[in-house]
Structure 1
Amino acid sequence: MTDWSGVRVLVTGGSRGIGLGIAAGFLGAGASVAISGRRADSLAEAAGRLGSVGGRLHTVVADIAEPQSCGQLATEAEVLLGGLDVLCANAGIYPECALDDLGPADIASIMATNVTGTILSVQACRAALRKSGRGRVVITSSITGPITGYPGLSHYGASKAAQLGFMRSAALELAGDRITVNAVLPGSIESEGLEGLGAAAIAKMKAAVPQHRLGTPADIAAATMFFASEEAGFVTGQALVVDGGQTLPELPDSV
């Protein structure tokens, strides 16, 4: 299997939740990792949680929705890591809002981060990934939008489906640079985003999953690392659902 020592990874939105789990997975396997986020304090806290890893962890403050900031992120990450082999385009937001209450600003905000930010990240990192000779892009999408729907998340679902449309065409354009582009579609994942929902709501979420548990950031990290591996070099433009079977039942009471 892939020897991760010396592999250089950038994880956007790496200060919490799934992004933090992805960073932990790569670091634990021996890779060098840069995590980005909009707040220096959140990144410092994340670095503390990830612990001492022999100088293989770096943090970069950036807003991927801003073209200039995204360009600076790519440059700084390449310098800190000494190159770039893997971009985990993970940063995203998921505010709930009923369809009737959605305003232009709400739509623009979620698209700016989830869609535009993904595209800008790939554009900004393309040159470094090309120089790597084995570049990998792994996008964190979701089952919500591409496969399922959820009330209050119509704008979020649209953004996550858009990421897959981008992924397929980008995979074609970057194939000549030996860069693969794939996506992981998480289901219900146990993370900070579930805080405050309450025990009853979380129990209901677990009941909807055939495995009767929520996924973990480590589950998503494992799938992401597969797409980033040497063994997945001939896999591109593909989406992998990681949901414990949540999207499989034909009827809700069959779980």
Structure 2
Amino acid sequence: MGGYINNFEKSILFSAERGGLDLVNQLVSVVVCTAGGNIVASALSLRAQLASTREKTDAERERRQASARIGEVRNTQKMTALIEGLRENVRKLKPDGDDGFEGLMAAVLTDLTRRSFAIASSGSQRGRDGQSALDRGVVLFEAKRYDDTLPKEKILTKITEIAGDTESTPELFIVGATGPIWAQHISLMQSAARRFGMVVMALSWPETGLPDLAVFLAMAPDVSAEFIARHISVSQSELLLQLNAVQSAQVFGS
């Protein structure tokens, strides 16, 4: 009987201990779940904060990029307006003579090449408006102050006249025009000139892109600005600002 009671008590105690352990395990599980929930909640909150910060950073970066693009567009528009203003001022010059567009071409060429250039007298000019003075006309130039596209006949006839001139030995023929020259016409002029051992350089002012003639003038900004300001009503400082816009173009000097 005593053994039975002892076994019963042990059974009861074991059950109590096991029940206690089960209770403890349940409490531990609750605590762990609660803590885990807090950790998960904290992690979600942190993730939301990081996402919000990232979105704000991305939005700020996009805003800055958009602002930079707007600034570039405005700067490009300003530069384009300044370069167009330069063309308008050049077109105000007389078409010919020492105080006209011919004189401007001669002045800039003299500064760039370090050799003197002379304007041809009126009348028969033998296919050129001017030439280098001390070398029998190795370099010739034609200055065309046009508002519209330069007709190819205006230059092809000049090349023919130059070819028939036995008093000069031209190697380079520079054509400066304040209007556009079609690319195919430039190729045609160059092909015709090569037959006579001469190279043609076309400096035109197309409707798009950085004009070759503008670049030519901007290579000697002080000379160009001083000459133009002396012969039309415009300040030299305004002209220098316009020439600086040409120099500031990304493709200048490339």
Q: TM-score, normalised by structure 1?
A: 0.38
Greater RCO, CA 8 A, separation 6+: 1
- Asked which structure has the greater CA Rg, the reply is 2
Q: TM-score, normalised by structure 2?
A: 0.38
